[in-house]
Amino acid sequence: MGKPTGFMEFGREAAHVRPPLERVKDWAESHPGYEEKTLREQGARCMDCGIPYCHSGALVNGMAMGCPIHNLIPEWNDLVYRGQWQEAIIRLHKTNNFPEFTGRVCPAPCEGSCTLGINQPPVTIKTIENEIIEHAFLEGWVVADPPLARTGMKVAVVGSGPAGLAAAAQLNRAGHEVTVYERDDRVGGLLMYGIPNMKLDKSIVERRIKLLEAEGIEFVTSTTIGKDVPAEKLATDYDAAVLAVGSTIPRDLLVEGRELAGVHFAMDFLVANTKALLGGPATPISAAGKNVIVIGGGDTGTDCVATAIRQGAKSITQLEILPRPPETRADDNPWPQWPKVYKLDYGQEEAAALWGADPRRYLVNTRRLVGDDIGHVVAIETVEIAWLHSPGSRPEMHEKPGTEQMLAADLVLIAMGFVGPNQELPNALGCKLDHRGNIVHDDDYMTTVPGVFSAGDCSRGQSLVVWAIQEGRQAARAVDKYLMYGETVLPDY
């Protein structure tokens, strides 16, 4: 695939982004396009490696090795190299319903498993993926494709995040009548409100939603199943249901002062900001002129940093309980595992451009939050920690005496991940939950309630958008088999 000697002739050209000090002035995406010559050269670097781990989609030590949806990466790299763009989007859409989403927000486990990445910078897979879909939209090749016939079966999908949308798209493709219920006022779930606009422009989400509507999917917004619509209607009005409600209960910070004003969950901060940006009724939680502390070092924490910068924060500090990753792969993190190495994501890069340093502080734990006389947070007490390893046991956190520190804090954002889905709906339906509170399903994605399936973060726990799409597609295939007496027209992947 690609040019046989391309990886020796062309170097990796990283994703094009606007300069940090320019892009922090607005909420627009920072993904300038490429010249076709450059893209063809980048596709040429795909090296016909024989065993393309990039699309393996396996789990190694709990992390994705390669693409979970098994994108046919070497094939569309080769097609881009040859300038066959229409064939490239056909191959890309065979495995991925929404490449415009993954091409923007996926951390690209495919690149972490690229064979070229053993001793050179890997192929720019994520960038090429995004350029293929945007080229296809520009040329008018992405159009509504409703099914030729309907089966007469009705399926409800609860949740319109990436898992729910993928399930709905596939079930509709199989000819079933699909209704998607979304509790918020706009379709998209995490894609619409959980990811900031500068990372995924909401017009991109709405563009795809309009296509799905044109293909026959019905979307019902501002509707919570179990509250606005009785949960039992899923059984009485539909032949099957897919729960794709996400992992929405945030992990809390259980320390003194948690109740103070000015302390918020990260997702509340991000959602309110995006709703206000889109002209909704929400009033954003403002970081303007404030000393902001972000607790948590994942993607959500990064999004908080970038959002606070654009709101005009006075300062930003991001606290991470884990150690700083190494610059290169550690001995216990070999290829083709996901490389756990240090990197500056977009938010940290912007903070460094503004204030001269990465805002993250590693191996720091929060002891307590300090308030003023009127109950508003004004400071956070931290302490440095070390993780001590004992043979046969899990690492234990130990504080380092004498490392206590007070940091000014007018706004504290808790970005410590999520612990599971809201349990009201699965409990109302009688679905079994595991010890973490996630919805249990069998190998065919069916819950303990016949005809009710689940997919995405509500079952697997907090994960990547690409895993949500994969699970939505697989759940749809299982539903199709359930409804069509063991037969299905949907692909294995």
Would you say residue 144 lies in a domain? no
Phi, psi angle pair for 265, to nearest 5°:
-70, 145
Instruction: Provide the domain count of the chain.
Output: 3
Phi, psi angle pair for 220, to nearest 5°:
-120, 110
3-state secondary structure the chain: CCCCCHHHHCCCCCCCCCCHHHHCCCCCCCCCCCCHHHHHHHHHCCCCCCCCHHHCCEEECCEEECCCCCCCHHHHHHHHHCCCHHHHHHHHHHHCCCHHHHHHHCCCHHHHCCHHHHCCCCCCHHHHHHHHHHHHHHHCCCCCCCCCCCCCCEEEEECCCHHHHHHHHHHHHCCCEEEEECCCCCCCCHHHHHCCCCCCCHHHHHHHHHHHHHCCCEEECCCCECCCECCCHHHHHCCEEEECCCCCEECCCCCECCCCECEEEHHHHHHHHHHHHCCCCCCCCCCCCCEEEEECCCHHHHHHHHHHHHHCCCEEEEEECCCCCCCCCCCCCCCCCCCCCCCCCHHHHHHHHHHCCCCEEECEEEEEEEECCCCEEEEEEEEEEEEECCCCCCCEEEECCCCCEEEECCEEEECCCEEECCCHHHHHHCCCECCCCCECCCCCCECCCCCEEECCHHHHCCCCHHHHHHHHHHHHHHHHHHHCCCCCCCCCC
The candidate with the shortest Cα–Cα distance to 293, out of 354, 375, 366, is 366
Whether 303 and 394 share a structural domain? yes
pLDDT at position 1, please? Answer: 60
Least confident of 44-58, 216-230, 343-357: 44-58
Percentage with pLDDT > 70 across the chain: 100
Would you say residue 492 lies in a domain? no
pLDDT digits (tens, 9 = 90+) for 73-122: 999 999 999 999 999 999 999 999 999 999 999 999 999 999 999 999 99
Whether 400 and 287 share a structural domain? yes
User: Is the pLDDT at 281 greater than 70, yes or no?
Assistant: yes
Percentage with pLDDT > 90 across the chain: 90
pLDDT at position 193, please? Answer: 96
Would you say residue 124 lies in a domain? yes
Mean pLDDT value across residues 345-372: 97
Whether 276 and 381 share a structural domain? yes
Q: How confident is the model at residue 483 (pLDDT cuts 50, 70, 90)?
A: very high
Would you say residue 94 lies in a domain? yes
Whether 97 and 117 share a structural domain? yes
Return mean pLDDT, the chain.
Answer: 95
pLDDT digits (tens, 9 = 90+) for 305-344: 999 999 999 999 999 999 999 999 999 899 999 899 999 9
Whether 10 and 85 share a structural domain? yes
Mean pLDDT value across residues 46-56: 89
CATH number for the domain spanning 225: value is 3.50.50.60
Name 442's Cβ contacts closer than 8 Å, sequence gap at least 6: none
| pTM for this predicted structure | 0.95
Whether 256 and 234 share a structural domain? no
Q: Which of 387, 416, 445 is the endpoint of a domain?
A: 416
Whether 18 and 127 share a structural domain? yes
User: Is the pLDDT at 61 greater than 80, yes or no?
Assistant: no
pLDDT digits (tens, 9 = 90+) for 141-197: 999 999 999 999 999 999 999 999 999 999 999 999 999 999 999 999 999 999 999
The candidate with the shortest Cα–Cα distance to 129, out of 173, 172, 69, 169, is 69
Whether 380 and 428 share a structural domain? no
Residue with tokens 């709906």: 425
Q: How confident is the model at residue 478 (pLDDT cuts 50, 70, 90)?
A: very high
Q: Which of 416, 439, 464 is the endpoint of a domain?
A: 416
Note down the domain range covering 330: 252-416
Whether 406 and 305 share a structural domain? yes
The candidate with the shortest Cα–Cα distance to 89, out of 145, 37, 48, is 145
Would you say residue 373 lies in a domain? yes
Whether 409 and 426 share a structural domain? no
